[in-house]
Amino acid sequence: MKNYRESMQDKKRIVVKIGSSSLQHVQTGDLDYIRLDVLVRELCNLRNQGKDVVLVTSGAIAQGKKAVNIRPKDLEENPIAVKQACAAIGQARLMMTYQKIFAEYNQVAAQILMTRHTVDNEMNRTNAQNTFDELFNLGVIPIVNENDTVATHEIEIGDNDTLSAVVASMIGADLLILLSDIDGLYTDDPRKNPDAKFVETVEKLDDSFMKMGKSSTGSGVGTGGMSTKLHAATIATSSGADMIIANSSDIRIIHRIMDGRNFGTLFVANKDNEFDLPAYIAKLHED
């Protein structure tokens, strides 16, 4: 029998999530084209192996802010409206860049923007699932983000770690890779506790692991900390997908993982037929 890592080679439907901080230069906040190029090349190579591939990308708000030079004081009066306007600007810019690079690799990409309605409302959910299916039939790579321009607190999923797990669940993916600015899960915050130990594999995601989550993110951009990643892991594994948190410092980690090598923290799929995705998302918002 293959071990968990070797079985990565057999995965057929893969969701890859990348966060804002992994896409931009630390010094300026402008897009890092080399990293974007490597990301797109890795995804196209998976597609060329006949796998279904989805990219969940952040960066809309961050790139919109850059485009119109938003400073902290511009956010004082109506921060939500400013952020939503920035998302409208930045999402289009981001897609333009992705489309260009995907085209260089002869790959067609599509955009899907979601809100919580896409999960809660059965008709919306079914429509979204049909769209994903049809895109896979056509050999297209869907690029997903939250529809930040319209998603106010009441209808938002809230962060792209959760969004990517929702997508993995909705499309019956067998693997979700969360690219992050950390190596994976540690028993405690490694930036604060030198004794924190790295966790390679989580076979059963119980409360002891959930407690290891810290709601902090090292980068100051994006929204996900370890806590959101552990909720994402609950959604993904309960829906039947393995999930790996891996460091995006070298994006070629994607093919190394797919080759079965030991990178990041693997959360092993543990399908729960009773798992209720809309109820889980609603509960996250209450907490």
Under the rule (CB under 6 A), what is the footprint of ligand GLU?
19-20, 58-62, 145-146, 148, 159-160, 222-224
- Give least dist CB 4 to ligand GLU, A: 27
Which residue's CB is nearer to ligand GLU, number 156 or number 242?
156
Work out how close the CB of 44 gets to ligand GLU at its nearest, in angstroms, rounded to a whole number. 22
**Distance of closest approach, residue 273 Cβ to ligand GLU, in angstroms:** 29
Q: How far apart are CA 220 and CA 47, in angstroms?
A: 32
Q: Are strands 13-18 and 52-57 parallel, antiparallel or unpaired?
A: parallel
Counting DSSP H helices and E strands in the chain, the numbers are 11, 10
Q: Of 146 and 242, which has the nearer Cβ to ligand GLU?
A: 146
Q: Is the Cβ of residue 8 or residue 251 nearer to ligand GLU in the bound state?
A: 251
CB of 45 to ligand GLU, least distance (A): 25
User: Are the CB atoms for 87 and 60 separated by under 8 Å?
Assistant: yes
Closest separation in Å from C-beta 60 to ligand GLU: 3
CB contact burial 106-133 (16+ within 10 A = b; e otherwise): ebebbebbbbbbbbeeeeebeebeeebe
In contact, 224 and 159? CB cutoff 8 Å = yes
Query: Which two structure tokens, joined as six digits, stand for 133?
Result: 């299916």
Closer CB to ligand GLU, residue 228 or residue 258? 228
Min dist. Cβ of residue 148 to ligand GLU (A): 5
